[in-house]
Structure 1
Amino acid sequence: MPTFPAAPIPGQDRTAQWVRADRDRLIHPNLPSGRTDRTVIVEGRGCHVRDSRGRRYLDAAAVLGMMQVGHGREEIVSAATAQLGTLECFHLWESMSNDKAIELAVRLTDLAPAGLDRAFFTSGGAEGNEIALRMARFFHYRRQQPERTWILSRRTAYHGIAYGAGSVSGLPVYHEGFGPQLPHVHHLTAPDPYQNSAYDGEDVTEFCLRELRETIERIGPDRIAAMIGEPVMSVGGAVVPPPDYWPRVAELLRSHGILLIFDEVVTAYGRTGHWFAAEHFGVRPDLLVTAKGITSGYVPHGAVLVTEEVAAAVTGSTGFPIGFTYTGHPTACAVALANLDIIEREKLLDNATTTGGHLADRLATLTDLPVVGDVRQIGLMLGIELVADKESRAQLPTGTAPVAQALREDAGIILRGNPRSLLINPPLVMDRATADELADGLHTVLARVEPDGRVRP
């Protein structure tokens, strides 16, 4: 595991300057204007980062669920440097191409579930979901079914915050105050085995399938383009669906000619112990969106993998009319190739399974605490659901933010949460000792959390 070198740490004066400049010049996502504290991260190695005051933190979020190979990998720096010195940038418009984009397209489609044989490159996950939505509608348009415009999604889903991606996200915070959303979007109930009161005593999968069938009948199967979903809901709480959910959803959609889009922005590239979470559920979607772990976040990049049937329809005789400035950026592609090499060479898919299992074992007894309702795990993707009352399974009145803050300040653990759950997505290079460090910190802090959401000193 890489360690921090003995490097000088910026002094308090420099940190104070950065904090003032940050407050005065930067706009942060999800940061109220009245909040003045800042943590300025200046260095990363392996599973840890260090701030400008010299404090070391365990990055239990892999930044934002993307740092598969850990911080500070010299192999990736070397790959980027070499490519910057050869061909730093070029485009893929019309007949132009570049060697690294071609190599990465071959590599990804070889790794992907069988049948996903074509790749379209983006700069990130929200862009990828925008492309997938456009491709789904355009697919039907090119097949003389322009009336197929409806997109089915799910409540509590997160697909990014671009216009279309934000519209299909099932979280009201991304809709309120932003005017009309993308039309012809319908949100379904998501499967959540722990919050089972939402299903009126019915089996979770049966409830969701019945609702899906009724929705298809109400809208009309010949008006629906696609359904989009995360195989495992990430921002929604690392919620793993019942094993029969996705196979049965896929079968129903296929019977009506409705495309299935898997958003694997978080779950791909080993996060669940597979290259793609689709493999875990034995499902091959028509379109599969990836980003984040494709480069371990070292540079922005993403890919949408599609079937030959989808590719043939959307390219057609005139080509797919949508692209981005940085589509197939050669430096990003070179970094992705180096990143995939590390994942394969270091067997990080296996490590996600074994270390994830060890971490889940260490965290299982958290449910003995009055505020921990559920601990969920698949690979190195975990969710800890916090409750005010175990019988009602109601969330803490404060949400999880005060707990996440206490973990950072008191235990040196950086992670994020939604109103109900703490989300744990550490780098896939995490070893047992680092997993134990994380588990110890979680046990210590969560034992101090009261049902009203307060964290005792």
Structure 2
Amino acid sequence: MEKLIELDKKHFIHPTSSIQQQQENGAKIIVDKGEGIYITDVNGNVYIDAMSSLWNVNVGHGREELAEAAAEQMKKLAFSSTFSTFSHKPAIKLAEKIASIAPEGLNAVFFTSGGSESNDTAIKLVRHYWRIQDKPERRKIIALRRGYHGVAAASTSATGIPEFWNMAGNMMTDFHHANTPYENGTDKAIASLRQVIEAEGAETIAAFIAEPVQGAGGVLIPPVNYFKEVRKVCDEYGILLIADEVITGFGRTGTMFGVENWGVRPDLLSFAKGVSSGYVPLGGVIVSDEIYNILKEKSKGTLFHGYTYSGHPTAAAVALKNIEIIEREGLVDNARKMGDELLKGFGRIKEELDIIGDVRAIGLLGAIELVEDPKTNKRFSPDLQVSAKVIEALHNRGVICRAVTYEGTDIICFAPPLIMNLSQVDSLIERVYGAIKEIREELTIVLNK
């Protein structure tokens, strides 16, 4: 164990991590294996993976069927390029399958290696779409504050969390951000969107991109009518709508895709994560028939965009088997049912403890906000590091989840595997209650409660 920690410090630069903390304390956990909703570290400690690792292990850990699908495909054809119109059966069959389960009218798929690439691709495709129609001025992208779309150049620029811009400076121009509906309500959020459109000029806007539920922003679930109003605004101004389903796709919200909760059809839909449940890197963009027809009609010469692993045959074979498992085991329906139970559990915790503000869930995607005063929604001082303390208390109880502290919030996020059953939900709720209760008691003297 000690040797692994030292090797980790010496050689492994961790993504989205504190280099200083890594060097001082070593790796938080060195994971050894996973089974179902649980992971086990090299010391034998077992944890509920209440985040599906990174919102993505939808079918749970340790699925031998997926390993077998990968091995079978590798033995036959591990890799083959799809450049220059080369193709192969796994990519063709996966594109067909995804089209069959996507919202109606979205039938053509461009494959990538992950979510950041998917959103970069969507942005490049919409700009190309307008350019080949002699409207190159339509290149601006509107996104939402607190939205997260990835860490590639365009996806970082679309992300509405400033810390991601500060790391290396602004990556690209022509990106603008409107207010999130979670904080402002539908009317104010739509007014903010219109304000950005009119300030920039509708004739210069290529697309609006948004997550059906803002994940890294704190699991922000929009009002029920928000996306219908967004669709109306986009149609009014002739702006394309991109749904970033990297987190919400493939059953996470209790529907196959998140936008289905609000009955809205986007023009493009980006995906990753749950398409393969993280067993292999894979993502993509599904485009509407209207967009694909324009691309076929007006594109001249080579489409100069693509990744080495676009349509990777092994990844495609694993994804096909993964989707088969999701459908065969009814995991979309299970996510909805267990999500309802998760939300009930959050509600019980809120009734018992007086530092709980909003609780929310849609499918197996949920959050608990910690506040000093639930009546006024007064936030804790950042100096108290309340959410970090709760995360540590959960860790000590064998639960891995994630905190969001955007602009002083203390939000604990949850996205467990879609295979979760009722007894496991109850176990998670019991541990969450114990962790928050522990920190509540520590705060008694500080807050004079």
TM-score (norm 2): 0.93
CA distance in 2, matches of 1:395, 1:87: 55
The counterpart of 1:334, out of the listed 309, 317, 320, is 317
Please name the residue that 2:11 is paired with. Answer: 25
Letter in 1 for 2:394: L
1:147 matches 2:140: no
**Cα 1:135–1:453 shift into 2, 3 Å:** farther
1:383 matches 2:360: no
* 1:238-297 CA-partner distances (Å, limit 9, x unpaired): 111111100111111111110000100000000011110111111110110000000000
1:69 matches 2:79: no
Matches of residues 84-163 of structure 1 in structure 2 within 5 Å?
84-163=74-153
Query: Greater helix percent: which structure?
Result: 2
Give the Å deviation of 1:358: 1.1
1:323 matches 2:306: yes
The counterpart of 1:256, out of the listed 210, 222, 237, is 237
Give the Å deviation of 1:45: 0.3
Matches of residues 228-247 of structure 1 in structure 2 within 5 Å?
228-247=209-228
Please name the residue that 2:401 is paired with. Answer: 415
Provide the secondary structure at the position in 1 that maps to 2:180. Answer: coil
Superposition CA RMSD, Å: 1.7
| Contact 2:357/2:377 (<8 A) preserved | no
* 1:407-430 CA-partner distances (Å, limit 9, x unpaired): 112x10001121131110000000
Letter in 2 for 1:349: V
* 1:49-72 CA-partner distances (Å, limit 9, x unpaired): 100001111100001011111100
Task: Work out the number of aligned pairs and report it.
Answer: 432
Provide the secondary structure at the position in 1 that maps to 2:370. Answer: strand
CA distance in 1, matches of 2:89, 2:330: 26
Please name the residue that 1:174 is paired with. Answer: 164
**Cα 1:361–1:138 shift into 2, 3 Å:** same
CA distance in 1, matches of 2:372, 2:381: 5
CA distance in 1, matches of 2:426, 2:26: 29
CA distance in 1, matches of 2:442, 2:433: 18
Give the Å deviation of 1:455: 12
| Contact 2:347/2:359 (<8 A) preserved | yes
| Contact 2:141/2:176 (<8 A) preserved | yes
Matches of residues 9-48 of structure 1 in structure 2 within 5 Å?
15-28=1-14, 29-34=16-21, 35-38=24-27, 39-48=29-38
Instruction: Out of 255-264 and 395-404, give the one that drifted further.
Output: 395-404
**Cα 1:309–1:284 shift into 2, 3 Å:** same
Give the Å deviation of 1:449: 2.0
Provide the secondary structure at the position in 2 that maps to 1:449. Answer: helix
TM-score (norm 1): 0.92
Segments of structure 2 that go 5 or more residues without pairing to the other structure are none
Please name the residue that 2:390 is paired with. Answer: 403
* 1:113-161 CA-partner distances (Å, limit 9, x unpaired): 0010100000000000000010111111111100011100111111011
| Contact 1:402/1:454 (<8 A) preserved | no
Please name the residue that 1:366 is paired with. Answer: 349
Letter in 2 for 1:63: S
CA distance in 2, matches of 1:388, 1:109: 47
Give the Å deviation of 1:372: 1.2
1:215 matches 2:202: no
Provide the secondary structure at the position in 2 that maps to 1:42. Answer: strand
Give the Å deviation of 1:405: 1.8
**Cα 1:323–1:453 shift into 2, 3 Å:** farther
Give the Å deviation of 1:371: 1.8
Instruction: Out of 214-223 and 333-342, give the one that drifted further.
Output: 214-223
Please name the residue that 1:435 is paired with. Answer: 425
CA distance in 1, matches of 2:323, 2:177: 35
**Cα 1:396–1:297 shift into 2, 3 Å:** farther
